[in-house]
Amino acid sequence: MAPPASHALIELEGVHKAFDRPVLRGVDLRVAEGTTCVLLGKSGSGKTVLLKTVIGLLKPDQGRVWVDGDEVGALSAPGLTLMHAKLGILFQAGALFDSLSVFDNVAFPLRERTRAGPAEVRRRVRAALDSMGLGAVERLFPAELSGGMKKRVAFARALVLEPRIVLYDEPTAGLDPPTTARVADLIVDAKKRLGLTALATIYDVPTAFRVADRLALLDEGRIVAEGTPDEVRRSAHPAVRAFLHRWLEREAERAPAGGG
């Protein structure tokens, strides 16, 4: 079945998913081509379950998911493999291979999914590492890297296939403020440079507002608010106000007295 007529590269329609309890209760979401959509929501709200449903690791109990025109639930195993080749995925913990060097970690998708020869692999890996400011660490192993450097290596690996679509699962989790800001800049730069379409889960509110074209708040298994950062900031929905409460208070404290 074809997806609804739209320019969305990721689309969910009426998606339900339950385990021992309902997690997703009818999620509708569209991510337009060339935009970054950030999912907001408290811990346990189903954000990571939604991402896993998008990439086909989980199958919806009800509803449908499309990625770049393909209905994910209808794909065969080879079809899923082809779809995954269109995706870059940055996992929350980085998921680097401890036994492989930085170079070989980034080269892994090229060697597994393409027929690129050694010279082409070397060129593309070095370009990906250079774009992350990591050209000097290709021979090191993950255990020799800081947390921020590991995250940037994982970022380079996610982009080395030059995907159209990238999924970010808490890309700034566990990072200090300067490294968080650096990763946010990398997300924004990658979108501008490569024209990426991205779906992200980001708990850190300032970072979410920094990188998003659109935000969607997941609450009790449903998208209860969606819009541009300014629209969400002004939303009167109780779940939005509750989620953003502390951040909005800090913003108000920083605002000039009498400013409007």
Structure-block tokens of residue 160: 């080395």
Query: Are residues 170 and 43 part of one domain?
Result: yes
Query: Are residues 204 and 189 part of one domain?
Result: yes
Residue 183 belongs to domain with CATH number? 3.40.50.300
- Of the three residues 116, 131, 162, the one that is the final residue of a domain is 162
Work out whether strand 70-71 and strand 87-90 pair parallel, antiparallel, or are unpaired. Answer: unpaired
Query: Are residues 116 and 72 part of one domain?
Result: no
- Of the three residues 162, 197, 215, the one that is the final residue of a domain is 162
| 107-142 residue pLDDT tens | 998 898 888 899 999 999 999 998 888 888 889 999
CB–CB of 215/205 below 8 Å?
Answer: no
* Within-domain flag for 91: no
Mean pLDDT over residues 135-162, rounded?
88
Say whether pLDDT at 5 is over 50. no
- Of the three residues 140, 162, 184, the one that is the final residue of a domain is 162
Count of domains observed in the chain? 2
Say whether pLDDT at 44 is over 90. no
Maximum CA extent, the chain: 63
Task: Give the pLDDT confidence score for residue 259 in this predicted structure.
Answer: 47
Side-by-side strand order, sheet with 8-18: 22-32, 8-18, 62-67, 70-71
The structure tokens 């774009």 sit at 131
Residue-number span of the structural domain to which 231 is assigned: 1-86+165-260
| 169-218 residue pLDDT tens | 888 887 888 888 888 988 998 898 888 999 999 888 899 999 999 999 99
Query: Are residues 169 and 53 part of one domain?
Result: yes
Structure-block tokens of residue 44: 């346990």
Query: Are residues 109 and 232 part of one domain?
Result: no
What number of other Cβ atoms are within 10 A of residue 255's Cβ? 10
* Within-domain flag for 244: yes
Say whether pLDDT at 238 is over 70. yes
> In this predicted structure, which of 4-8, 73-77, 148-152 has the lowest mean pLDDT?
4-8
The closest of 9, 87, 17, 79 to 48, measured between CA atoms, is: 17
